[in-house]
């Protein structure tokens, strides 16, 4: 089965020469963003990181001409028109507050997810960019996983009919970042945020969410959101649920492992199922999609060579560059991402108070 009829790749800008300034030189920037940008022909012109030797190494690897230790010096570069921010969420607000002071030449920002430490801070980031006239996009890159995007095509053209039930089952062991220990976050703001945003990408906003969480027995720093279960309730009757299991059994303690991410959508006229290849990184493992419809009593199995990490990272920057080029909002605008942040916060509230929480409780209360 070919993929020619599935829009699984992002639209690219006509002008790829826009100067990109990169703040941060860690794994996600060095091994994902910049690899994808070079593949797409984008134009990074400067990079900044507190550890200069790290920035120099990454700049040499990706042919970036200007290197800075202080990101504020990067912002003074007039050939930087778009800033790609890849810093911990508890420092992102400070960085974006500085970026908007340079709106005379900086036109766009690609922020990391989560967009700040909570919904309230995310709203403030959106306000700062809006008032400065700087276009804000958020790097919710799972929307550009090839199977997620291809399934969106099936849903948009009605192949599956009305969605009835959707599930994501993640059994994976992520590599936690050192900054997470000072936040006390494990799963909801780091991993579940991908799945919550993907449900929104596929189906729009739910009415309410019910979440139940417990600590991950492997993670040593204090946290509450280790293993996370949640159900989204939609006004049209659709139910979407996810099991985000970052424990995955004692796989690191000596047992055999069973690692993977599987998703499934059941509709009134069709079904789709898929896998996400990310847990096998750095082995290139493409995500997959199988689907069947009442009009065709077989499983269609389109396949592609691209993978989520790093190939899909073209998408978030591409949609920002397209937005600047066309004078339209980005596909993943800061405004849109506020409801993903609100869903994350609703999950925390639900788990702590042992009740279903409506999305509007978060957006109205903190709006």
Query: Per residue in 259-299, pLDDT tens?
Result: 999 999 999 999 999 999 999 999 999 999 999 999 998 99
Residues recorded for the chain: 367
Query: Per residue in 18-64, pLDDT tens?
Result: 999 999 999 999 999 999 999 999 999 999 999 999 999 999 999 99
pLDDT at 148: 98
- Three-class SS of residue 290? strand
Question: What pTM value is reported for the model?
Answer: 0.96
- Three-class SS of residue 292? strand
Query: Per residue in 253-266, pLDDT tens?
Result: 999 999 999 999 99
Residue 180 CA to residue 184 CA, distance in Å, equals 6
CA torsion through residues 145, 115, 88, 103, sign: positive
pLDDT at 354: 98
pLDDT at 1: 45
Outline where 62-204 has alpha helix (H).
Answer: 71-75, 89-99, 119-132, 146-156, 180-183, 193-203
Residue 206 CA to residue 249 CA, distance in Å, equals 31
Residue 289: strand pairing partners: 274
- Three-class SS of residue 136? strand
Query: Per residue in 316-362, pLDDT tens?
Result: 999 999 999 999 999 999 999 999 999 999 999 999 999 999 999 99
**Residue 3: both structure tokens together:** 């993929």
Contact 27, 177 (CB under 8 A): no
Flag whether pLDDT at 367 surpasses 80: no
Q: What is the share, in percent, of the chain residues with pLDDT greater than 70?
A: 98
CA distances from residue 235 to 97, 226, 256, 281 in whole angstroms, order as listed: 37, 29, 41, 37
Domain residue spans in the chain?
19-141+314-330, 145-309+341-358
Contact 233, 209 (CB under 8 A): yes
pLDDT at 2: 55
Domain range 145-309+341-358, CATH class: alpha beta
Sheet holding 82-85, edge to edge: 66-68, 43-48, 19-23, 82-85, 108-111, 135-138
Domain covering 19-141+314-330 in this structure, CATH number? 3.40.50.720
């Amino acid at each position: 089965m070919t993929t020619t009829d599935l829009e699984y790749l992002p639209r690219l800008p006509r002008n790829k020469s826009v100067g990109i300034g990169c703040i941060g030189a860690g794994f996600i920037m060095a091994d994902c963003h910049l690899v994808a940008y070079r593949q797409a022909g984008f134009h990074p012109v400067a990079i900044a990181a507190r550890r200069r030797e790290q920035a120099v190494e990454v700049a040499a690897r990706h042919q970036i001409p200007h290197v800075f230790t202080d990101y504020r010096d990067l912002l003074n570069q007039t050939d930087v028109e778009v800033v790609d921010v890849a810093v911990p969420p508890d420092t992102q607000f400070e960085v974006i507050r500085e970026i908007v002071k340079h709106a005379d030449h900086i036109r766009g920002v690609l922020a990391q997810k989560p967009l700040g430490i909570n919904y309230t801070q995310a709203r403030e980031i959106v306000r700062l960019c809006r008032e400065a006239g700087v276009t804000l996009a958020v790097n919710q890159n799972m929307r550009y996983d090839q199977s997620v995007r291809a399934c969106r095509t099936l849903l948009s053209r009605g192949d599956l009919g009305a969605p009835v039930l959707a599930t994501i089952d993640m059994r994976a062991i992520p590599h936690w970042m050192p900054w997470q220990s000072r936040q006390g976050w494990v799963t909801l703001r780091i991993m579940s945020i991908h799945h919550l945003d993907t449900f929104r990408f596929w189906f729009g906003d739910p009415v309410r969410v019910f979440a139940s969480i417990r600590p991950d027995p492997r993670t040593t720093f204090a946290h509450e959101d280790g293993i996370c279960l949640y159900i989204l309730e939609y006004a049209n009757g659709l139910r979407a649920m996810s099991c985000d299991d970052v424990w995955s059994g004692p796989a690191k303690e000596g047992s055999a492992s069973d690692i993977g991410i599987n998703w499934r959508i059941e509709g009134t006229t069709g079904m789709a199922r898929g896998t996400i290849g990310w847990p096998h990184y750095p082995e290139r493992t493409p995500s997959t999609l199988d689907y069947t419809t009442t009009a065709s009593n077989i499983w269609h199995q389109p396949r592609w060579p691209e993978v989520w990490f790093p190939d899909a990272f073209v998408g978030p920057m591409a949609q920002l560059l397209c937005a600047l080029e066309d004078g339209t909002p980005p596909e993943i605008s800061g405004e849109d991402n506020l409801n993903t942040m609100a869903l994350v916060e609703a999950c925390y509230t639900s788990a702590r108070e042992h009740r279903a929480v409506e999305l509007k409780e978060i957006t109205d209360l903190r709006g």
